[in-house]
């Protein structure tokens, strides 16, 4: 079981990155914005890992803190909420906003998360209310946004990220095209979130 990795990012293709740890490259799926929130030192980044091991695949999911990993584990404990949906939730909602939405039963806020419908939102509230950590949460503290990429590079990265999430290439291309001139002029994390919203509408 892999619990933590510290290394150098050698490829960053949301929703995944490749982390070089002493010469071994680990592909890790992460929520949007994780590199900006994670602890960094000497050019290396520290990720807290949740490992999913099935008969046919080994998947690693990385988080900026133990708290985020704990919340991810609670999300996937909810019936019919898998790792990809949980990543989508943590990409759209910082942990403190998620906790407040669940505690308040704010279904409208939860259903604005791409891929979360009314039934899933109700299930999240029912299963997680009172279970998510709240005492240690303060106001949102978003990490710095990555610099905007060139339009062609940004488009390619967005399409790759969406297809990695399970969307067909033609769907991904259409969503990215809809974003128009914003591609290359805004942070990739913002564009990815808006593309997901378009695909789920």
Structural tokens at position 165: 């999430």
Residue 11: strand, helix, or coil: strand
Q: How large is the average pLDDT for residues 3-30?
A: 92
Name the pLDDT band for 77 (thresholds 50, 70, 90): very high
3-state SS string for 119-154: HHHHHHHHHHCCCCCCCCCCCCCCCCCCCCCCHHHH
Distance, CA of 39 to CA of 191 (rounded, Å): 24
| Host domain of residue 110 | 66-128
Q: How large is the average pLDDT for residues 136-142?
A: 46
- Contact at 8 Å (CB) between 76 and 83? yes
Q: In this structure, is residue 146 part of a structural domain?
A: no
32/53 same-domain check: yes
Domain at 51, CATH number = 2.40.50.140
Q: How large is the average pLDDT for residues 13-36?
A: 90
Quick check: bond before 15 cis, omega within 30?
Answer: yes
Q: In this structure, is residue 141 part of a structural domain?
A: no
72/119 same-domain check: yes
In the chain, the number of structural domains is 3
Domain at 80, CATH number = 1.10.150.20
Q: How large is the average pLDDT for residues 68-74?
A: 95
Distances in Å between the Cα of 37 and the Cα atoms of 33, 84, 87, 143, 175 are: 7, 20, 15, 5, 27
Q: In this structure, is residue 140 part of a structural domain?
A: no
Task: Give pTM, 2 decimals.
Answer: 0.68
Domain at 157, CATH number = 1.10.8
78/48 same-domain check: no
């Amino acid at each position: 079981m892999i619990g933590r990795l510290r290394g150098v990012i050698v490829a960053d293709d949301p929703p995944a990155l490749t982390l070089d740890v002493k010469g071994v490259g680990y592909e890790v799926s992460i929520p949007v914005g994780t590199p900006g929130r994670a602890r960094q030192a000497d050019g290396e980044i520290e990720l807290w890992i949740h490992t999913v091991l099935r008969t046919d695949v080994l998947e690693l999911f990385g988080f900026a803190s133990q708290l985020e990993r704990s919340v991810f584990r609670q999300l996937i404990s909810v019936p019919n909420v898998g790792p990809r949906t949980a990543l989508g939730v943590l990409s759209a909602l910082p942990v403190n906003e998620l906790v407040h939405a669940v505690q308040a039963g704010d279904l409208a806020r939860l259903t604005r998360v791409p891929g979360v419908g009314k039934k899933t939102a109700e299930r999240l509230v029912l299963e997680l209310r009172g279970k998510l950590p709240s005492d240690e949460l303060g106001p949102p503290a978003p990490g710095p946004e990555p610099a905007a990429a060139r339009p062609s590079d940004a488009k390619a990265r967005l399409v790759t990220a969406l297809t990695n999430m399970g969307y067909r290439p033609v769907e991904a291309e259409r969503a990215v095209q809809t974003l128009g001139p914003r591609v290359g002029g805004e942070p990739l994390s913002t564009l990815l979130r808006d593309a997901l919203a378009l695909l789920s509408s």
